Structure 1
Amino acid sequence: MSTEKRLARYALTSKGTILFALIMLSIAVSAELTGPFIAKTIIDRHISGIEQPWYESETNEHSVQFDGNAYTREAYLPEHAWRGDEVQILQIGTGFYFTREPLPTEGERTFENGVLSIQQEDVTYTSAADTLTAQEVLSFYEPEIGFIVRWLLLYLSLVTIAACFHYGKNFYLQKAAHKIVQRMRVDVFNHLSKVPVRYFDHQPAGKIVARITNDTEAVRELYMTVLATFFSSFVYIIGIYFALFLLDVRLAVMTLAVLPLLFIWFKLYRKFAARLNRTIRAKNADINASLNENVQGMSMIQAFNQEEQQMNSFDQLNNEHYRAQANLLNVNSLTGHNLTFVLKNIVFVALIWWISGGTAGLVTLGVLYAFVDYVNRLFEPVNQVMNQLANLEQARAAGSRVFELLDEDGADVDDTSTPRPTGEVVFHTVSFSYVEGEPVLQNISFQAKPGETIALVGHTGSGKSSIMNLLFRFYDPTNGRITIDGVNTKNYSPQALRAHMGIVLQEPHLFSGTIASNIAYGKPDASKQEIEEAIRLVGGSHLFKNGLDEIVTEKGSTLSSGQRQLISFARALLANPAILVLDEATSSVDTETERIIQTGLQTLKQNRTTFMIAHRLSTIQDASHIIVLDKGIILEQGTHNDLLRKNGHYAHLYKLQQGQVS
C-alpha cells in the first residue's frame, strides 16, 4: 500500500472531526467569496447606477427633488406607477451633468458650452445639459446610501461569520491532527515492543527516536496545515471559477489555461523534491543518532581528548544535511511566489488585451472590478498550494519512514499465561547463526535441572550471551531445539515464557522514576512491604539513605554501580522467576559491595534454575554445572572440581586467574 493511502487511512480514524472542520472551512470560503459580488452590485447598481434612466415621478422614498420636480430611478419605480419624461445623469471625469434628452452611455464623452456630446465612431450625439453641483450630486446618490450601507453590513456579517468558521476549522483540524499523530506514535511505540531484538542490533537508538518524534511531527503538519491548505485552496479555486463563469463565460474560459500549467509544474516539483526530502529525513536521523551517541559517551570522548574528531564527524553530517536543504530550497524557490507572480501577470495581460480589443464585448465597471478581484484571489490559493508542496513532500518522506518501521516483522504481544515451570532446561544439539553461514553456536547440548546453577565460561565471542538470547527467545535456534519442562520453547509465546524468567546484567538498566518503581518494574502491582522485603533480602536496605522513594534519573546515573546492581537483584527477586540469568552480575562492583551481593545471590538463587555468565571463575565454584565454551562449541562441562581434575582448558584458566601459571 502506498504512503499516501496509508496516511489517508490514518486520517480516516478522525474522519468525523476532519469532515466537520472541512464543512466549516467550506462555509467560511463561501462567505469570503461573496465579497467581489457584493462589490460588483454596489458599483453597478448603486454607484454606476446613477447613469441609469431617471423619470419624473410622484414624490416617494426613492425620489430626488431637482429643479422643482421629483425624479426617481427606473429601478425603484413600481411597475404601474406614473412616469413622466425620461432624464439622464452622465459623468465625465469628476463632473456630473443632467440632461433631459437621454443619450447613449457608450462612446467618448465631452461637455462644452452647455452641450453634452457622445462620440461613437462616425456618429455624434448631442444634448443640452446642466452641470450638477456637489450637493446636487449627493442628493441623487442619497437614495443609494441606505442600500450601500446594508450591503456593507451584509459583507461585514459574512466576514465575521467566515472568521468564526475559520477559527472552528483551525481548532478541529489541529485537534484531529494531534489525535492522529498521537495514535500513530502509540502504534509505532507498540510495534517496537513486537519487533525482534535483532532489529535493534542494527539500528542506532537516535534513528528510531527520530522516526517516532521528528518524522511523526512532520506528518502532523500534513494533517494540520497541508490538508487544510490544499482543501481550502481547492474550495477557493472551485468557488472562484464558479463566480467567474457567472460574471463572464468567455473571460472565465481564458483563465482555465492556468490549470494545466500548474499541474505540469506540480508533477515536475514532486519528481525532484521527493528524492531530496527523503535524503533530508535520512540525514536528520543520522544527526539524531550521532547526537545520541555523543551525549551518552561524552565522558569517554573527553577522557580520550576526542572532542575535535567528534566535532569534525558531526560537522560532516551537518554539512551533508545543509547541502540537501539548499538543493531543496532552490527547487522551492522556483515553485513559490515567482511562478504564481508570472502566471498572474500573464492572465492580466490577456485580460487587458481581451477587453481593450473589444473581444470581450460590453463589460461593466462592476464586472471588471469583480473579475480582477477574483483573479487576484485565484492566485492566492495557488500560491499557498505551491508554498505547501515542500511540506507535503516532507510529510510523505517522513510518513514513508514511519511506515517502514511499522512494516518491520513483529509478533503480537500474547497475553496468555502459562503455569510457573519447575525450571528444567534442556538444549538439544542447538546451532545458531546471526548471519547466515557464520555460526556462533554449534551442536550445543546440556541439561539444567530444577534448582541447579549452571555457569557458562569462555572468552569473549565464545557464545555465552547467544545461549541466553536463545533461552529468552530473543532469537530462535537455526537447528536443534530448546525445551523447558519438556516443552519446546517455540510452543510458548515469548511473553508467556519471559513472565517466568529474570535477568541481572553486568550493567543494569534503570528507568527514570524512583528506586521503588525500578524494583517493582517486573511486578507493578507489588506492595510497598514486598518491595522493602526484596531489597532487604539482597542486603541493600542500608545503602539507600533517602529511602526507596529516592528519585532515579536516566540510567540511574546518580547511583553507584553497586546500588544499581542491588536494585537489579531486588527487581529479579520480586518478580520471582523460575529461571534466572546472571550476566557478569558482580564484575563491575567493589569488593565490599560484591560481598553484600554474593550474600544476596544465595537468597536470589533459592528454588529456581540459575544461569551464570562469568569471567571471574572464583564466583562460580559453587555452581552445579560449569560449561566451558570456545568459538560456539562446548569444550568441557562438569563441576568445578571435576574440571580441575581434568586439567583441561578450564583448569588452565582457573590457574591463570589464581596466579599459579605465568
Structure 2
Amino acid sequence: MSKPRRPERAPLYTERDRANLRWLWSRYLRQKLPWLLLVLLMILAQGVVYQQFLAMTEDGLRVIFDSGTVGDLVQVCGVVFFLFAVRGLMSYLVPRVTVWVSNDAIFQMRRDLIDHMMSLDLAYFERTKSGEIIQRLVTQTQLLGVFIGQAVANALRDAITVIIVSGYLIYKNPILFGTAVVVLPFIIWVMNFVSDRVKITQGQAETELADYMNGIEETVNGMRTVKIASQEDVEAKRLLKGTGHIRDLMNRVQITQALVMPSIDLSSAFVYVLVIGGGGYMVLSPDFDVDGAGIIMFLLGMVMVFDPARLLALFFGGLQANMVLLDRIRGLYDEVPTITDAADAVEEFDTRGDIAFDDVTFAYSADQPLFDGLNLTFKGGQVSAIVGSTGSGKTTILSLLSRLYNAQGGQITIGEQPIDGLRLKALRGAYSVVAQDIVIFNNSIWENIRYVKPEASEAEIWQAAENAEIAELIRRRGDASVGPKGAQLSGGQKQRIAIARAFLRDAPILLLDEATSALDQATEERIKSALDRLTRGKTTIVVAHRLSSIADADRIFVLEAGKLVESGKHAELLDENGLYAQLYKAQKQGYDGR
C-alpha cells in the first residue's frame, strides 16, 4: 500500500501576497517616497555609527593595551559619545517620520475603504457580519499601520546594521566571519518553518475574532431580550466559548513564534564559541596578524550582528501575520457593486407619472423565487396600498422601486422612464420613506429628524415635528441623546421620528412601509390628518398590515406568494369576498375580541 501523499506546502509569499504589497505601495506609500528616502538615509547613518563605533573601540583598546596616552583615550571616548549622540537623534527622528507616514497612509486607506463600502449593494451588508466589517475598518487597519510605521522601519534599521557591521567584520577578518555564519542555513530553515505556520493560524484567528466581535454586538443589541428571558448565563457561555477559541489560536501562533528566539540563542552561542576558540587560536598562532583588541572588537561586532538578527527573525515571523491582515483589508475590494449608474443614465424624470411593474421577475437566491412576471401599476398622485401575508413580497416591491435590488427580468418604470436608466441619487432623492426598521442615531431627536435634510431651517424642522406629533417630546428632552439605536424611546416615538423625517424631506413619492405599526390607535388617529396632508398630491405607496388604515386608498393590491391575486378599492374587494375580505374580517374579529 502506498503512503498517502503529504499536501504540498504553499509558497511562503504567494502571488496574492505580492499583489497586495504592490497595491499597498502604489496606492498609499509611493506618494510618501521623499519622506521614506529621508528615513532610509537616517537609518543608514545609524548603521554607519555602529561600524565607526567598532573601529573606535578597537583603536581605544589599542590605546589601552599599547603605549597610548590619556589624551588619545579621551579623544576616542569623545568620538564614541558623539557617534551615539548622532544615533540617538536618528532614533528619535526615524519613528517620528515613519509614524506620521503610516498614520496618514492608514487614514487614506480607511477613507477609501469607507467610500468603497458605501458603494456596495445592500445584499453585501445583509450577508456580511457587522463584526467582520468593524474588524476590517478598525482593528486590522490599525494593526497594519503599527506594523508599517514601526516594525518595518525597525526591521530596515536592523537589516542595514547587520549588513554594514557584517561587511566591516568581513573586511577585518573574513576567515573568522566565514566560520561564524555556518549557522545561517539553520536560521533560515527555522524562519520558514515558523512563518508558514503563523500565516495559517493567523488567518484562522482573524476569522474567529470577527465571529467573536459579531457575537458581542448581537448580545449587546439584544440585551433587552436577554434580560427578559433570563438568558445571561447562556450568552456569557456563548461569548466565553468564542474567547476560548481565540485564546487557543493565539497560543498556537505565539508558541510557534517562541521557537525563533531560543533557536537563534543556541545558534549565537555556537557562533560565539567558534569566534572565541578560532579567534583565540589566531591570537596565539604566529601565522595570523590578529591581536586581543581585534578579537574583542570582533566579538562585540558579532553581538551587534546577532542582536538585530534576532529582531529581524521576529519581524519575518510577524510579517506573515500582517500578510493575512493586508489580504483581509484588500479583500473588501473584491466586493464589486452591481447596482450602479448606467453610462447614459439621466437625472430628469416625471416624478408624478405612473409607477409600473411590467412582467418583473426577482429572486433573492435560486432557491428563493419570489416574483415571476409581476404586473401592477401605481397611479401617479394617488395612494396605493399593498397588502398580503408575511413573505408575499410587499417590502420587496419597495426595495426594487428604490433599486436596493435590481429586477432580474422585466422592467420597472416611473412616468414610462425605466428606473435603471436613472441616476441612483436622483431616483432615491425622489422618495421619502417611512420604514418599519427605523434607524435612530445616538443623538437628540432634533438631530435625528434633521439627518435626512442637514440644510433644513429650524422652522422646517419644528413644522415636521409638529406634523408628526413629536414636537412636545423634543421640548421635554431638549438636546439629550436618545441612546444607542434609540434605546430610550418607545417604538411609537421612533416611528414618529421617521414620519417627521418624511415631512421634512417632502419628496414627491412617498413610501410607507408599516408606517403606523408601532402606534396605538389613539396616536394613529392623532397623526392621521397629518399623514393625509403628507400624502396629498403625492404618489404614495403604502405597505400595511393593519387593513383598516388603508381603507381610503385609491387602489389596493393584494399579494400572495409573490403573485398579484386581487386589486381594487376597499369596498370592491370586500364585495368580492376573496383573500382581502378574509384578512379584513379576521383582523376585525381580532380587534373586536380584545
Give the Cα–Cα distance (whole angstroms) in 1 for the partners of residues 232 and 573 of structure 2: 48
For 1:530, the aligned partner's letter is E
Q: Cα–Cα, structure 1 residues 589 and 390, in superposed 2: closer, same or farther, change >3 Å?
A: farther
Q: Does residue 19 in structure 1 map to residue 33 in structure 2?
A: no
CA contact (8 A) 2:47 2:165 kept: no
**Are 2:293 and 1:366 equivalent residues in the alignment?**
yes
Task: Give the greater-gyration-radius structure (CA).
Answer: 1
Deviation at 1:547, TM superposition (A): 6.4
> Aligned equivalents of 1:485 and 1:19: distance in 2?
60
Number of equivalent positions:
568
Confirm whether residue 400 of structure 1 aligns to residue 330 of structure 2: no
Q: State whether structure 2 residue 275 is matched by structure 1 residue 351.
A: yes
Q: Quick one: structure 1 residues 468 and 22, their matched pair in 2 at CA, closer, same or farther if it must change by over 3 Å?
A: same
The alignment status of 1:4 with 2:27, answered yes or no, reads: no
Counterpart of 2:556 in structure 1 is 626
- The 5 A counterparts of 1:233-632 are 233-335=158-260, 337-358=261-282, 361-410=288-337, 417-418=347-348, 421-546=351-476, 549-632=479-562
Instruction: Give the match for residue 12 of structure 2.
Output: none
CA distance 1:508–1:32, shift in 2 (3 Å): same
Q: What does the per-residue CA deviation read over 1:426-477, in whole Å, with 9 as the maximum and x for residues that have no partner?
A: 1001110111243112221111122111211111111111111111101111
- Tell me the distance in 1 between the aligned counterparts of 2:424 and 2:180: 64
- TM-score, normalising length from structure 2? 0.91
State the distance in 2 between where 1:608 and 1:511 align: 28
> In 2, are the aligned partners of 1:14 and 1:179 still within 8 Å (CA)?
no
2:58 paired residue among 35, 40, 47: 40
Partner Cα distance (2:34, 2:375) in 1: 59
For 1:303, give the aligned amino acid. I
Q: Is the 8 A contact 2:58 2:293 kept in 1?
A: yes
Higher mean Cα deviation, 608-617 or 434-443?
434-443
Counterpart CA distance in 1 for 2:350 and 2:213 is 42
Higher strand share: 1
1:276-317: CA deviation from partner (whole Å, max 9, x where unpaired): 000111111111000000000011012112222222222222
The CA distance in 1 between the partners of 2:70 and 2:228, in whole Å, is 84
Q: Deviations over 1:51-100 (max 9, x none)?
A: xxxxxxxxxxxxxxxxxxxxxxxxxxxxxxxxxxxxxxxxxxxxxxxxxx
Structure 2: any 5+ residue segments left out of the alignment?
1-15
In structure 2, the CA distance between the partners of 1:261 and 1:570, relative to structure 1 (3 Å rule), is: same
1:215 aligns with 140
By how many angstroms is 1:272 displaced?
1.1
- The alignment status of 1:149 with 2:74, answered yes or no, reads yes
Task: State the shift of 1:221 in Å.
Answer: 2.0
Question: Secondary structure of 2:57's partner?
Answer: helix
d(CA) in 2 for partners of 1:49, 1:620: 107
CA deviation after TM superposition for structure 1 residue 606, in Å: 2.1
Distance (Å, rounded) in 2 between the aligned partners of 1:339 and 1:175: 35
Give, as a single letter, the amino acid of the residue that structure 2 aligns with 1:31: V
Partner of 1:204: 129
Structure 2 residue aligned with 1:125: none
- Post-superposition Cα deviations, 1:475-509, rounded to whole Å, max 9, x if no partner, equal 11111110112111111232221111121112421
Give the superposition deviation at 1:185. Answer: 1.3
Comparing 180-189 and 5-14, the one that deviates more? 5-14
Sort the Cα spacing of 1:231 and 1:637 in 2 relative to 1 into closer, same or farther, 3 A: same
Deviation, 1:16, is: 3.2
TM-score (norm 1): 0.82
Tell me the secondary structure at the aligned position of residue 659 of structure 1.
helix
Task: Give the match's secondary structure for 1:544.
Answer: helix
Shift of 1:411: 6.1
Uncovered stretches (5+) of structure 1, i.e. residues with no partner: 51-140
> Displacement of 1:7 after TM fit?
2.9
Could you tell me how far 1:516 is from its partner in structure 2? 2.7
Which has the larger share of helix? 2
> Cα distance 1:616–1:307, how it changes in 2: closer, same or farther (>3 A)?
same
Q: Map 1:216-231 to 2 at 5 A.
A: 216-231=141-156
Counterpart contact for 1:449–1:609, Cα < 8 Å: yes
Aligned CA RMSD, in angstroms, stands at: 2.2
For 2:507 and 2:115, how far apart are their aligned partners in 1? Answer: 25
Matching residue's letter, 1:227: V
Q: How far apart are the structure 2 equivalents of 1:12 and 1:258?
A: 37
Q: Which residue of 1 aligns with 2:11?
A: none
- The answer (yes or no) to whether the contact 1:221–1:395 under 8 Å persists in 2 is no
Shift of the 564–382 alpha-carbon distance from structure 1 to 2, 3 Å rule, reads same
Instruction: After TM superposition, give the deviation of residue 419 of structure 1 in Å.
Output: 5.6
For the residues of structure 1 that align with 2:241 and 2:33, how far apart are their CA atoms?
43
Q: State whether residues 280 and 324 of structure 1, in contact with CA within 8 Å, keep that contact through their aligned partners in structure 2.
A: yes
Question: Deviation digits for residues 384-424 of structure 1, max 9, x if unmatched?
Answer: 12223443222221111111112211269879854672252
The yes-or-no answer on 1:165 pairing with 2:95 is: no
User: Do the aligned partners of 2:442 and 2:483 also contact (CA within 8 Å) in 1?
Assistant: yes
How far, CA to CA, are the matches of 2:503 and 2:576 in structure 1?
A: 36
Alpha-carbon separation, structure 1, partners of 2:537 and 2:38: 62
Q: Once structures 1 and 2 are overlaid, which stretch shifts more, 598-607 or 483-492?
A: 598-607
| Matched residue SS, 2:475 | coil
Partner of 2:4: none
CA distance in 1, matches of 2:392, 2:523: 28
Distance (whole Å) between structure 1 residues aligned to residue 182 and residue 25 of structure 2: 30
SS in 2 for 1:551: coil
Contact 1:428 / 1:482 at 8 angstroms: preserved in 2? yes
Q: Distance in 2 between matches of 1:14 and 1:548?
A: 47
The answer as to whether partners of 1:569 and 1:604 remain within 8 angstroms in 2 is: no
Measured in 1, the distance between the counterparts of 2:339 and 2:389 equals: 36
3-state SS, counterpart of residue 259 of structure 2: helix
Aligned partner of residue 522 in structure 1, secondary structure: coil
Identity, % of aligned pairs?
26
- What letter corresponds to residue 293 of structure 1 in structure 2? E
Q: Which residue of 1 aligns with 2:574?
A: 644
Counterpart CA distance in 2 for 1:572 and 1:18 is 52
* Secondary structure of the structure 2 residue equivalent to 1:615: coil
- Contact kept? 1:413, 1:495, Cα under 8 Å: no
C-alpha distance in 1 between matches for 2:409 and 2:312: 57
Letter in 1 for 2:540: T
Contact kept in structure 2, 1:453 and 1:625, CA below 8 Å? yes
